[in-house]
A and B are shown apart, each in its own frame.
Chain A
Amino acid sequence: MTEPTPRSTELTAYLSHELRNALACIHQFGNILIDGLAGELSGEQREYLGIMLENATKIRRVLDSALDGNAGPPKELANKIERISKLET
């Protein structure tokens, strides 16, 4: 495991701030809509919004593991990283 350089630490801080704020906006307003705080939605609208929020949650999990190492990479990501590593060697 290589030690983080000042440059990579700075990049991580920048990515964390920018991506987490953007994702928080998607998450906040998606949940406001799905909870009916801005008016009732049709069944189809709720379904599509649910898909959007599910995928926002996936992005958050990837961010958590990539930027903060919270719980190791999700299985799919871990498999992809392993495949890429094999291709590179």
Chain B
Amino acid sequence: MDSTKILVVDDNPTIRRGLSVRLQANGYEVLFAEDAISATAALVTERPDLVILDLGLPAGDGFVVMERLHKNDRLANIPVIVLTGRELAGNRDRALQAGAAAFFQKPVEDSTLLFAIRKALDVSRGELRFDD
């Protein structure tokens, strides 16, 4: 069975490393991108099953990445979980309206993030609806 690929997009290498340890311990394959350009490239070349996306990124922000993703029919169904250090006001509603499956501020509880990942993957695979 192919493993589930998660693309972690964050410009902070320590955050990327911490997420990688946690996600790999839970059986996920982890890919990385550190800015909006490399994130877009990784989406196209790797076609991950899910994206964990920071909003404050170099070379365009997380909203730019979501916009590019949703404009591409091949990629539009990939669920995005926003994990950001940005403030709630003006970011949470905007991210959810832009199509994010979930929005979390850092730091997030590991159990909460892992639950959201499982749920978003189930929804994208048609095994569950979001209101279940």
How many Å from the CB of B49 to the closest CB on chain A?
22
Question: How many residue pairs bridge A and B at CB < 8 Å?
Answer: 62
Judged by a CB distance under 8 angstroms, whether A67 is at the interface is yes
Q: Which residues does A use to contact B, with CB under 8 Å?
A: 12-13, 16-21, 23-29, 31-32, 35, 37-38, 56, 60, 64, 67-68, 70
* A17 x B85 contact (CB < 8 A): yes
The count of chain B contact residues (Cβ–Cβ below 8 Å) is 20
How far is it, in angstroms, between the C-alpha of A76 and the C-alpha of B114 when the chains are bound? 32
How far is it, in angstroms, between the C-alpha of A28 and the C-alpha of B83 when the chains are bound? 13
The 4 closest A-B pairs by CB, nearest first: A28-B18, A20-B85, A24-B106, A27-B107
* B22 x A32 contact (CB < 8 A): yes
Q: Which of B1-30 contact A (CB under 8 A)?
A: 12, 14-15, 18-19, 21-22, 25
Most buried by A among B18, B25, B87, B106: B106
**Identity of the chain A residue whose Cβ is nearest the Cβ of B110 in the assembled complex:** A31
* A28 x B22 contact (CB < 8 A): yes
Judged by a CB distance under 8 angstroms, whether B86 is at the interface is yes
* A37 x B25 contact (CB < 8 A): yes
How far is it, in angstroms, between the C-alpha of A12 and the C-alpha of B15 when the chains are bound? 21
Given contacts A17-B56, A29-B18, A31-B110, contact A24 B85 (CB under 8 A): yes
Chain A residues with Cβ under 8 A from B107's Cβ? 20, 23-24, 26-28, 56, 60
**Identity of the chain B residue whose Cβ is nearest the Cβ of A13 in the assembled complex:** B87
**Identity of the chain A residue whose Cβ is nearest the Cβ of B56 in the assembled complex:** A17
**Identity of the chain A residue whose Cβ is nearest the Cβ of B83 in the assembled complex:** A24
